[in-house]
A and B are shown apart, each in its own frame.
Chain A
């Protein structure tokens, strides 16, 4: 029979607006975090990473914020474009888990032209 997947949280934004995607992580020992973008039918693609000794890191049009106190991570996309439409996953990595990368559920970003 056909399996039914969980409904992903969805964020819908207008082209040109800024997007903020949030993620809560579980392991207080996690010291490295990555945001991945996954387009339909493709594998996850690296966007930006941040280590636990930082609370902010900027890339091209993207910024990641890390709040270790509440174990929260966010991805900000400036001037969102239709090509940004995808599912976004945060992933955490901790030395006490042998370096295993653990992915969150994901958020689907939909950009309206």
Chain B
């Protein structure tokens, strides 16, 4: 069974440029999460989806970050414009029914210059 798939794995951009990350969760998992992980720290939740609905986006910096999960399957996280402090690993995870074990992808490492 395929795990959570993320792309791109690495992205280097200049500040003020836009960037987008894509995630395909495990088949059948209705809950999808985007986490941000700064160097040397644990992941922090940005947004959680139950099917198409964003049920927790309280930690998402809405002035520059946006996310969508239009058909309740794959999801895109966008940053526009990127700032130096956005350099981090963006992790996507999925789970069945929103509780229990989260399955993580390999992450997308963003470097903003």
Contact = CB atoms under 8 A, between A and B. Distances in A.
A64 interface: no
A57 to B, nearest CB: 13
A34 to B, nearest CB: 7
A72 interface: no
A16 interface: no
A112 B63 CA distance: 46
B101 A49 contact: yes
B14 to A, nearest CB: 13
Interface residues of B, number: 28
A32 B98 CA distance: 13
24 contacts: A1-B84, A3-B87, A6-B41, A8-B40, A34-B102, A36-B104, A41-B106, A42-B106, A43-B91, A44-B91, A45-B104, A46-B103, A49-B100, A89-B43, A91-B42, A93-B99, A98-B48, A100-B45, A100-B56, A101-B33, A102-B45, A104-B42, A105-B41, A106-B40
Sort A-B residue pairs by CB-CB distance and give the 6 closest, nearest first.
A5-B40, A5-B39, A103-B42, A43-B104, A6-B40, A44-B104
